[in-house]
Structure 1
Amino acid sequence: MSIYDFTCKNIRGEEVSLENYKGKVLLIANTASKCGLTPQYEGLEYLYKTYQEKGLEILGFPCNQFGNQEPGSNDDIESFCALNYGVSFTIMEKVDVNGDEAHPLFVYLKKEAPGLLSKSIKWNFTKFLIDRNGKVIHRYAPTTSPEKITDDIEKLL
């Protein structure tokens, strides 16, 4: 099994195979619009604009499991991201990242890169860096700003 075995729905409900991202460096994050860390959208967008042409793709997965900080519909989320942060990277459909209803992609990501004390995702903006071969390289804490991931991304590009 690899990251390329998964499909997800984008924010418009269209099926997307992660196989489409073969050969790209991926940064995957669970996101939220009403979180103290929400300004990280700006940093993620900066990374995307800076490194997209070199092969970086960012996938944001809205999640409402932490403090009810992503209560809106997919349309609300898409509008919020575009209007407030100019997000142009891919936003996926809202998912659960923990528990019985966790999206299979996040079950896999947590298995491949468990957290320090447990596999569970602790909060919004947990980030996973995946290399061009689909291997999960690193898991970053929610408080790790996107800017602090720059060196790791550059090494993979």
Structure 2
Amino acid sequence: MLGVLLAVNAGIAAFGSAVSREHIDGWYASVPAPIWVPENWVFGAVWSTLYVLISVAAWLVWRERRRRRVSTALTAYVVQMVLNSLWSPVFFALYPAIGSLATWLALGIHMLLLLSLVVMMSEFWQVRRTASILVAPYALWVIYAASLTVAYAVVLP
């Protein structure tokens, strides 16, 4: 099951990269970046690490299924992964079509993602505390990424 979770998360990462790539070199490269935005390669390195942590956390919860009720925790995991997978197409691919509205929609996705992460971390904590702790860096990164989305939403036409 760990392999399945890693593969699913790798697929989500590949999807996000595929829908973002042309826009990162296009409109995104041409707009002023917030001073706290890292180099583009940092995003790939951080997300790769976070997806592994998220996969391991979900796997630890899944392993408890015979001893505890884990359906709510795993449902929260799926919900936040769906929201996670929506951000890149909305932020990057929709911007050329609908302008700054795309950045505001992406920020809304970030807020829903954070809410779902709080639920997931709480549910993971009840099942396997280590799983919840493994997800904490992901929650911090999503907060940081949301701050970047706010900055772009404010300055983009």
Normalization by structure 2: what TM-score?
A: 0.28
- State the structure with more CA Rg: 2
More strand by share: 1
Q: TM-score, normalised by structure 1?
A: 0.28
